[in-house]
Each structure stands twice: as C-alpha cells, then as structure tokens.
Amino acid sequence: MRLIYTSAKQLADGDVPSFEKAGAVEAWMKDETRTVMPELLSKEELDTMVSEIKAGVGFGATLNYYRTRKINYELEKDLPQDIRPDIPKLMIIPSADPAIPAALAVHAEKKLKNIEVVWIEGLCGHWVQLERPQESEKIVGEWVERFAANDWTQ
C-alpha cells in the first residue's frame, strides 16, 4: 500500500523504486529501512486499508478484474471492431504515470469516438484526483458543463 499510493514527486525524488526497473520493487520491499509514508494517504487511511486487507476484505474485487482478463478477451474477441459507444468521454492522462503508458492515450484518441484527452504535465502520477484535486475538478467540471449545455452532443 505504501508503494501504490506514493506520489510522482516521491518517485522522482527516488523515495520509491521505479516499477520499470526489473527487481527494484522487490529489493525495496525487502529493505524495510527504506519504507516511506505515501504522500497520498494519511496514516489513518493507510492503517484502515492494511487492516481490511489483513482481514481478507482487501483486494478481492480489484484482483477479479485481472483474474478475468483472459475470459473477457475470449468473450469479446469476435465482436465487430467498429462498435464504439458515441457517448462523450473524457480521459485525463498524467504525463508521469508509472502505471499506464502515455501511448495508451494516443491509441484511445485514434480508436474511440467522442473522446477528449487532457494531459496533466509535470509531477503528477497515477492518482490524478489525489495529486491535483483542484485541477482535476476544474477539468471535469468544465467538460460536464460544456456537454450538458449542448444536450450531451458535441
């Protein structure tokens, strides 16, 4: 949990290892002297999450998504590729996200209809709404207002 909820600044400062370097996370986890408090959670929030995980509640639903990826692929692989919902979509992409490559946004813009991609530059990682709450709120709010004013059409 300490690693998952660290900020892009903590990653850039070297307080936590890069996910991309083989063996770095494992070595960091074994070296308990390097454990840091994640900037994106309070101690109380972290303690609650850890106790839920230890009690068996924890990651079940989240992990089910990954467990069923092959099943979902098999179910969906023969669907026509041109079926895409036309509802408006907003994708906020932080440029320093260690979990999702920026190329995903470029691919999404090419493949999805009615999508607007907004880039968050600078030190902002995977948890945009936690690292840049005011900026996230402004982006989403303006997007909703713009589409709501036009009856949800472009």
Asked, for residue 18, whether it belongs to a domain, the answer is yes
* DSSP assignment string, 24-84: HHHHHHH-GGG----TTS-HHHHHHHHHHHHTT-TTHHHHHHHHTHHHHHHHHTTS-TT--
Considering the domain architecture, whether residues 72 and 111 belong to the same structural domain is answered as: no
| One domain, residues 62 and 106 | no
Whole-angstrom distance, CA of residue 126 vs CA of residue 114: 23
Report yes or no on 38 lying in a domain.
yes
With respect to residue 1, please indicate whether it lies within any of the assigned structural domains.
no
Total domains in the fold of the chain:
2
| Domain match, 20 and 68 both | yes
Task: Judge whether 14 lies within some domain.
Answer: yes
Check whether residue 20 and residue 72 sit in a common domain: yes
Same domain as 67, residue 16: yes
Same structural domain for residues 69 and 96? no
Buried b (16+ CB within 10 A) or exposed e, 34-61: eeeebebbeeeebeebeeeeeeeeeeee
Q: Under DSSP, is residue 123 helix (H, G, I), strand (E, B) or coil?
A: coil
Structure tokens, 111? 């493949």
Q: What's the pTM value of the predicted model, to 2 decimals?
A: 0.71
For 4-59, what is each residue's pLDDT tens digit? 888 889 888 988 887 777 888 888 878 766 678 888 989 999 898 888 888 877 67
Do residues 72 and 49 share a domain? yes
Q: Are residues 45 and 96 in the same domain?
A: no
The pLDDT tens digits of the residues spanning 76-123 come to 889 887 666 778 889 999 988 888 877 777 788 888 888 899 999 988
Last residue of a domain, one of 51, 76, 101: 76
For residues 69 and 93, membership in a common domain is answered with no
Q: Domain range spanning residue 43?
A: 8-76
